[in-house]
Amino acid sequence: MKGVHSKYYTDNLRENILRGIRQKIRRGELSAKAPLGYFNEPRLRTIEPNKKTFRKVKECLEAFATGQYTLTAIQRKMFSLGLVGKTGAPVHLSSIQKILTNPFYYGDFRYRGEVHQGSHKPMISKKLFDKIQEALVVNGKPRKKRGEKGLLYKGFAICGECGYAITAERKIKKSGLVYHYYHCTFKSRTQKCSQTRFLREEELTRQVQDMVQKVSLPDEWRDAYLKKLESENVNVRHSSDLFVQNLKNDISAVSARLSRLTDAYLNEALELGEYLERKNALTAEKRTLEEKLSDFERKGNHWLELMRNWILEANQAGNLIKQENLSGMKDFLVSIGSNRRVTAGMLLAEFKMPWRDLTETGARARTFGAGEVNLSSNSELWTLADSNR
Ligand SMILES: [Zn+2]
């Protein structure tokens, strides 16, 4: 009997809870967990934009909508913006997929498979959301084999002379062999472009591979870099512990002054005007210190994680070459470089730091005998890491 009774009780409870949820849905609010970029406001029981992450998530959504990013490239972008999972690791790809398909970001929300109108502040327009869904068709699966109609490098580079897109063309020879050629679209109306040379896909692939090679880190370099990072880690931890401790001391000193000030006012040792003036100054000082602390706790050792990630990624690039993963190499260059252009049949690109540094040290190593791991020649790399602290 007892079992029946408690079942009746829990069913009733469940019914009450569901009724509450349905009412919330009708009002456009839902007590679900806020998605990334928002937080659950506990008093109003609403979901509000998170000041620290809202713009960053928005930036990532806008980036993915361009169609220039794969899921892993977005994952990397999120990581570099400090959008990380609970453990500080990169956000899982499946979670990113959920973010990209969540109607919450344009103002609706999904509950039990049904989409309802929300009352929260949207992050993006429905139009951008639709663009993201389109981009997901092409870039949604990790490791895609080939580009549109098998034209691998379509949309990959621009013409170095006129700045218009490089397009691809399929040609079938009399022998029946199919060739892919790349050339300027000659779309400029104001400028006559002289880049009439057609580039064979095989030749472009060779150049892409060379470029990836330049920014890849050989196994022995990876190990040396990781080792160096490990020793940096100890130093950094020590000095950042000190930094945090000093900040905390400063904050408690200001707090103590604040409470003494209040005591003085309550004991009528201070006029109200004077009290408020001093209190506001101290409160502002305290807030500055607290922000400094939370900023540091968020970013402080983050660069170490970024650096480690970069080392592994640069090493991984070598595997793309070994596996002859053409679309992987292409995506990799898109994610780490910019201004990819073809001039006189030559592919050129700009690399962000620290990749750029690697192209230079890599070239030095090739000139002065390969296989030598000379970390001192990479001191710029560690300086860069320092400046990110
Ligand atoms: Zn051109």
Buried b (16+ CB within 10 A) or exposed e, 216-231: bbbeebbebbeebbee
- Compute, in angstroms, the gap from residue 332 CA to the centroid of ligand 1: 25
**Which pair of tokens denotes residue 146?**
């080939």
Q: Which of the four pLDDT bands, split at 50, 70 and 90, describes residue 204?
A: very high
Q: Which candidate, 44, 63, 179, places its Cα nearest to that of 119?
A: 44
pLDDT of 233: 77
Percent of the chain scored above 70 by pLDDT?
81
- Compute, in angstroms, the gap from residue 367 CA to the centroid of ligand 1: 34
pLDDT of 134: 80
Neighbours of 121 (CB within 10 A): 12
The reported pTM is 0.48
pLDDT of 191: 84
- Of 263 and 209, the structure prediction assigns the larger pLDDT to 209
Neighbours of 238 (CB within 10 A): 10
Q: Is the pLDDT of residue 385 over 60?
A: no
How does pLDDT run across 225-260, given as a tens digit for each residue?
Answer: 888 888 877 777 777 788 889 999 999 999 999 889
- Compute, in angstroms, the gap from residue 353 CA to the centroid of ligand 1: 28
CA dist 389 and 384 (Å) reads 9
pLDDT of 147: 43
Contact between residue 83 and residue 75 where contact means Cβ atoms under 8 Å apart: no
Contact between residue 94 and residue 101 where contact means Cβ atoms under 8 Å apart: no
- Of 133 and 111, the structure prediction assigns the larger pLDDT to 133
SS3 117: strand
Place of tokens 């509950």: 111
Neighbours of 178 (CB within 10 A): 10
How does pLDDT run across 365-380, given as a tens digit for each residue?
Answer: 544 434 444 444 444 4
- Compute, in angstroms, the gap from residue 158 CA to the centroid of ligand 1: 8
Angle in degrees, CA 142, 212, 91, rounded to 5: 35
Q: Which of the four pLDDT bands, split at 50, 70 and 90, describes residue 117?
A: confident
Q: Is the pLDDT of residue 299 over 60?
A: yes
- Compute, in angstroms, the gap from residue 330 CA to the centroid of ligand 1: 21
Contact between residue 381 and residue 373 where contact means Cβ atoms under 8 Å apart: no
Contact between residue 315 and residue 216 where contact means Cβ atoms under 8 Å apart: yes
Place of tokens 């880049």: 195
Q: Which of the four pLDDT bands, split at 50, 70 and 90, describes residue 207?
A: very high
- Compute, in angstroms, the gap from residue 31 CA to the centroid of ligand 1: 55
Element spanning 17, H or E: helix 2-27
Buried b (16+ CB within 10 A) or exposed e, 294-326: eebeeebbbbbbbbeebbebbbebbebbeeebb
- Compute, in angstroms, the gap from residue 197 CA to the centroid of ligand 1: 10
- Compute, in angstroms, the gap from residue 168 CA to the centroid of ligand 1: 13
How does pLDDT run across 137-149, given as a tens digit for each residue?
Answer: 767 665 444 444 5
How does pLDDT run across 306-361, given as a tens digit for each residue?
Answer: 788 888 989 989 889 988 889 899 989 988 888 899 999 999 999 887 888 888 77
- Compute, in angstroms, the gap from residue 162 CA to the centroid of ligand 1: 4
pLDDT of 232: 77
Q: Is the pLDDT of residue 300 over 70?
A: no
How does pLDDT run across 7-24, given as a tens digit for each residue?
Answer: 666 667 777 777 776 676
Q: Are strands 337-343 and 158-159 parallel, antiparallel or unpaired?
A: parallel
Contact between residue 71 and residue 61 where contact means Cβ atoms under 8 Å apart: no
